[in-house]
Amino acid sequence: MAEGTAWLAVDWGTSNLRVWGMRADGTAAFMRTSDQGMGKLAPDQFAGVLAALVADELAQREAPLDAWICGMAGARQGWVEAPYLDAPADLGSLAYAAVRPPASGHFIAPRILPGVCQKPAGIEDVMRGEETQILGLNALVPSLAGLVILPGTHAKWVRVDGRRIERFATSMTGELFEVLRAHSVLRLSLGGEIDGAGRNEGFAAGLAAGIESPARLPSLLFKVRAGALLSGRQPDWSAGYLSGLLIGAEVGGQRDWIDTGASDVPLVGSPGLCGLYQQGLALLGVASHIVDAADATLAGLRLARELAA
Amino acid sequence: MAEGTAWLAVDWGTSNLRVWGMRADGTAAFMRTSDQGMGKLAPDQFAGVLAALVADELAQREAPLDAWICGMAGARQGWVEAPYLDAPADLGSLAYAAVRPPASGHFIAPRILPGVCQKPAGIEDVMRGEETQILGLNALVPSLAGLVILPGTHAKWVRVDGRRIERFATSMTGELFEVLRAHSVLRLSLGGEIDGAGRNEGFAAGLAAGIESPARLPSLLFKVRAGALLSGRQPDWSAGYLSGLLIGAEVGGQRDWIDTGASDVPLVGSPGLCGLYQQGLALLGVASHIVDAADATLAGLRLARELAA
């Protein structure tokens, strides 16, 4: 048992679960992960999975351990549904809108934060988890205002003003890469070693093509196959090209979301993926900086808890 | 045995094989299909598969039966490779560039037509089969010149001047629909009945959105999921929307390929799919007419054979 665990910070995604034991001073005493993501669980299994992951912390306690949870645990198919806040949304109210699952017999007091939705027809969109990262970004980035990009399986572009989400859009960029790589004819050009030396060169070529002609994405995609057949492109180059093309088309197709003279766009996600977006923004002359997704999530859960106190 | 079969017209695709028995006057005596597409066969199996499909025609013959073949049988992984013609390409030379597979012991004399490639880096592209349809279109459409669209799994946009292919581009539209429907998160909104009454309405909405904002495709795709979650869109509407969005983005992103004042763009493919493209072109004020893919293929094989005589 870690000394002085005051509460649990929980990021419960579709595929994975991550739990931090938090001290009263806001630092993390430990972090644990599990593959028991929302997608694998029935509603009555969540409490037991979380309790098992921190069983040593629950022993010898006198009061239930608070757990602040963000992500897909609050989806309709999750633990218990935490209805979305409507965008434009004030993230200061995330904690108040948190949902408490029914008592489970485990010595945990869980609170699940809501996601944010955007309802108007034609721009319908949803997020669960990113809103907590954006709340946390307020503790990490002074005077947060303007565009925030959160690269990932479903990349989010979010117009933010402090704790307020003005509007947002989700691009299926990461998932497009995966389904095309695994299930389309492009797989024939992507078999074998895809992390070789040609990957960076292919990425640069795809990125430039996507940014220049985002509206041509459906035909540029086929260049992955035709380039292998005609120009002898190897799998590493082709994988880089596909990745660059998709990120380039995302960035190029939404360049009107980028403020004129934007000084420093925050990129929230895994540092490796964020670095690829950073290259894309640089082609447009836009500076950016990377914030690790876990840091933002933790800061967001901490701030949500403080705001509820 | 059909009376008077003078030669065989063969369309050998990746998934299927279609054979017509042709009379000397150019009419078809019979048509037979098989699921023995190129993707299922090793090089030494092609001759036997074709001979078995027309075994009754081969009996009692005194000379081998000519077979004119287009499509993936000529791919590197096919029967025998028929190297691509380079675009710009004169389709009048398709027959001269045809490749004869080695003797197989079957009483057939096969000739495999080449495909067409476009080699310059950045616009690399390939076709196999569509070139034969475009040659055939010359027999079906007087004074063929301008844009021809061939919708399908890999839709081709081709700039044509008579029998000459000037340039072309392949959009992965049909395959994108299939892999997203089957393998992405969008499948959660597309389960169940997708051919219901809402399909046309969803198609119209997606088509308009794709044509208006082709560069926004990566984020518009996510509207399929968000619309189901927030607006109660049913699977038939969502499937129509996805189909319309992809076709709309293809058409909208390549509108500069369409001649100003184009009078009547030929659409070559299945009539149902071509009808969807026709709706898209109509939104841009462009008239089009549908040519059944099989009619074009047959006309192309017939013309190739005549040009070789």
String of DSSP letters for chain A: --TTEEEEEEEE-SS-EEEEEEETTS-EEEEEEES--GGG--GGGHHHHHHHHTHHHHTT-SSPEEEEEEEGGGSTTSSS--PPEESSEEGGGTTTT-BPPPP-SSSEEEEE---EEE-STTS-EEESSHHHHHHHHHHHSTT-EEEEEE-STTEEEEEEETTEEEEEEEE-HHHHHHHHHHHSGGGGGT-S--SSTTHHHHHHHHHHHHHH-GGGHHHHTTHHHHHHHHH---HHHHHHHHHHHHHHHHHHHTGGGSPTT---EEEEE-HHHHHHHHHHHHHTT--EEEEEHHHHHHHHHHHHHHHH-
State the span(s) of chain A assigned CATH 3.30.420.300: 5-128
Q: Which residue has the higher pLDDT, A295 or B194?
A: A295
Query: B173-220, pLDDT tens digit by residue?
Result: 999 999 999 999 999 999 888 888 899 999 999 999 999 999 999 999
CA distance B114 to B95: 8
Whether B232 has its CB under 8 Å from any CB of chain A: the answer is no
Q: Which of B175, B184, B229 sits opposite A172 (nearest CB)?
A: B184
CATH (one of 3.40.50.300, 3.20.20.210, 3.30.420.310, 3.40.50.10240) for B145-293 = 3.30.420.310
Give the residue from chain B lying closest to A157, CA to CA. Answer: B219
Whether A284 has its CB under 8 Å from any CB of chain B: the answer is no
Whether A45 has its CB under 8 Å from any CB of chain B: the answer is no
**Looking at residue B123, what is its pLDDT?**
94
Whether A226 has its CB under 8 Å from any CB of chain B: the answer is yes
List the single best residue of B81, B116, B119, B124 to mutate versus A (max A Cβ within 10 A): B124
**Looking at residue A2, what is its pLDDT?**
54
Per-residue confidence band for B3, with pLDDT thresholds at 50, 70 and 90: low
Whether A215 has its CB under 8 Å from any CB of chain B: the answer is yes
CA distance B168 to B41: 29
What is the assigned CATH class of domain A143-292? alpha beta
The alpha carbon of residue A60 is apart from the nearest alpha carbon of chain B, in Å, by: 43
Average pLDDT, integer, range B246-266: 91
**Cβ <8 Å between A119 and B231:** yes
Give the residue from chain A lying closest to B228, CA to CA. Answer: A124
Query: B99-137, pLDDT tens digit by residue?
Result: 999 888 888 999 999 999 999 988 999 999 999 999 999
State the span(s) of chain A assigned CATH 3.30.420.310: 143-292
Whether A188 has its CB under 8 Å from any CB of chain B: the answer is no
The alpha carbon of residue A178 is apart from the nearest alpha carbon of chain B, in Å, by: 9
Query: A67-103, pLDDT tens digit by residue?
Result: 999 999 999 999 999 999 999 999 999 999 999 998 8
CA distance B245 to B249: 6
Strand order in the sheet with A125-127: A85-86, A116-118, A125-127
Q: Which of B76, B217, B225 sits opposite A217 (nearest CB)?
A: B217
Q: Which of A154, A180, A209 sits opposite B122 (nearest CB)?
A: A209
State the span(s) of chain B assigned CATH 3.30.420.310: 145-293
Evaluate if residue B1 carries a pLDDT over 70. no
Taking only residues 72 to 131 of chain B, the set having a beta carbon closer than 8 angstroms to any beta carbon of chain A reads: 76, 117-119, 121-126
The alpha carbon of residue B9 is apart from the nearest alpha carbon of chain A, in Å, by: 27
Q: What is the DSSP letter of B64?
A: P
Average pLDDT, integer, range B238-258: 97
Q: Which residue has the higher pLDDT, A168 or B4?
A: A168
Query: A109-119, pLDDT tens digit by residue?
Result: 999 999 999 99
**Looking at residue B59, what is its pLDDT?**
87
Evaluate if residue A63 carries a pLDDT over 60. yes
**Cβ <8 Å between A117 and B226:** yes
Whether A172 has its CB under 8 Å from any CB of chain B: the answer is yes
Q: Which residues in chain B are closer than 8 Å to A189, comparing Cβ atoms?
A: none
- For the entire predicted model, the pTM comes to 0.95
CATH code 3.40.50.2300 for A5-128: no
Query: A155-169, pLDDT tens digit by residue?
Result: 999 999 999 999 999
Query: B136-186, pLDDT tens digit by residue?
Result: 999 999 899 999 999 999 999 999 999 999 999 999 999 999 999 999 999
Q: Which residues in chain B are closer than 8 Å to A219, comparing Cβ atoms?
A: 157, 169-172, 250, 253-254
Give the residue from chain B lying closest to A257, CA to CA. Answer: B216
Burial of A283 (C-beta count, 10 Å sphere; 0-12/13-18/19+): middle
Specify the pairing of strand A116-118 against strand A288-292.
Answer: unpaired
Q: Which of B117, B157, B216 sits opposite A253 (nearest CB)?
A: B216
Per-residue confidence band for A191, with pLDDT thresholds at 50, 70 and 90: confident
Within 13 Å of residue A209, how many CA atoms lie on the same side as its CB? 26
**Cβ <8 Å between A124 and B231:** yes
